[in-house]
Structure 1
Amino acid sequence: MEIVFIRHGQTDVNKDNRLQGAHVDAELNDYGRAYAKKAAANFDENKFDVVYSSPMKRAVETAKIFTKGKKKINLDDRLLEFDFGDWDGKKMDDIVKEYPDVVDPWGKIDRDYIKYAKNGESYEDFDKRCGDFLDEMYQKYPDKKVLVVAHGRLIRMIAAHYLTNGDMDKIDTMNNCALAKFSVKKKIARMIFYNRLLA
């Protein structure tokens, strides 16, 4: 199986440097929409046998732009972005000031955030839902090419699931509309590329 992930285009929540998890269903902004179209012009949707997307607005719109209306888009709730619980929508600047012990040197929230955001998703639960999705894709499409449009943190966990036993803190966030590609043979995954930009 070849499986390619695209991170959705920019939203105003991204631009405002706020946490944009499972409870923030923002649409693409004008820049995000224009950039997605520019990147999609260099993308061949015909190479893929099947397309999946997060049901969130920003992912669905990005999926429609990249597939140019030529492919059925299957929505899957397991592709929802990481659930930050009460932290969803918070400004990163405020989190850095108030909870510096759970922000890593790259300015990303680490796994210990959950001691403050009690109703947030744990890395373990996140890894499990990503793993469930990946296992199903491999069972259904072992010799096919799968396209998935999703979210920055989710794609980080996908890479972590395959490469670091679910330790997402070792993987950086891709840019908006960037691509990651994995090849899976006999249930062994290799990263072919990560954070590839098309425009």
Structure 2
Amino acid sequence: MEIVFIRHGQTDVNKDNRLQGALIDAELNEAGRDYAKKAADNFDENEFDVVYSSPMKRAVETAKIFTKGKKEIKLDKRLLEFDFGDWDGMKMEEIGEKYPDVVDPWGKINRQYIKYAPNGESYEAFDERCGEFLDEMYQKYPDKKVLVVAHGRLIRMMAAHYLTKGDMDLFDTMDNCALAKFSIRKGITRMDYYNRKLA
């Protein structure tokens, strides 16, 4: 199986440097829409046998742009972005000032955030739902090419599930509309690329 992930286009929540998790269903902004169209011009949707997307607006719109109306888009709730709980929508600057121990040197929230945001999703639960999705894809499409349009943190965890036993903190967030590709043969996974930009 080959599986390619695309991160959704930019939203105003991204632009404002706020946490944009499962509780924030933002649409693409104008810049995000324009850039997605430019990237999609260099993308061949016909290579893929099946297309999945997070049901969130920003992912669905990006999926429609990249598939150009030529593919059925299957929505799957397991592809929802990471749930930050009460922290969803908070500005990163505010988090960094109040809770410096949960922000890593790259400015990303680490797994320790849960001690301050108890309603948030744990890394373990996140890894479990990502793993369930990946296992199902491999069972259904062992010799096919799968396209998944989703979210920055979710794609980090997909990579982590495959390569680092769920340690998402070892991966940076891909740019908006960037791609990651993995190839799986006989249960062995290789990363072909990560954060590939098309425009």
Q: Shorter-chain TM-score: what band? A: over 0.9
* Pairing 1:37–2:42 present: no
SS of the residue corresponding to residue 183 of structure 1 reads strand
Instruction: Give the TM-score, by structure 1 length.
Output: 1.00
Give 2:49's aligned residue: 49
Structure 2 match to 1:59: 59
1:84-118 C-alpha deviation (Å, 9 max, x unpaired): 00000000000000000110000000000000000
Tell me the distance in 2 between the aligned counterparts of 1:153 and 1:127. 11
Instruction: Give the match's secondary structure for 2:21.
Output: coil
Q: How does 1:7-22 map to 2 (within 5 A)?
A: 7-22=7-22
Using the alignment, how far apart are the partners of 1:32 and 1:150 within structure 2?
Answer: 14
- What is aligned with 2:142? 142
TM-score, structure 2 normalization:
1.00
Q: What is aligned with 1:2?
A: 2
Where does structure 1 differ by over 3 angstroms across 4 or more consecutive aligned residues?
Answer: none
Q: Which one-letter code corresponds to 1:28 in the other structure?
A: L
Q: Is the counterpart of residue 126 in structure 1 residue 126 in structure 2?
A: yes
User: Per-residue deviation at 1:187?
Assistant: 1.1
Q: Does 1:106 align with 2:106?
A: yes
2:127 alignment partner AA: D
Indicate the residue corresponding to 2:77 in structure 1: 77
Give the residue type in structure 2 aligned to 1:194: Y
Aligned match of 2:164: 164
Residue ranges of structure 1 left out of the alignment (5+ in a row): none
RMSD between aligned residues: 0.3
- Which secondary structure state, in structure 2, belongs to the residue aligned with residue 74 of structure 1? strand
- Give, in whole Å, the separation in 2 of the partners of 1:188 and 1:112: 30
**Partner SS, residue 149 of structure 1:** strand
Secondary structure in structure 2 of the residue aligned to 1:132: helix
Separation of aligned partners in 2, 1:198 and 1:57: 22
Question: What's the secondary structure of 1:86's corresponding residue?
Answer: helix
Q: CA deviation at 1:188?
A: 1.1
Q: Residues of 2 paired with 1:155 and 1:118: CA distance? A: 23
Gaps of 5+ in 2: none
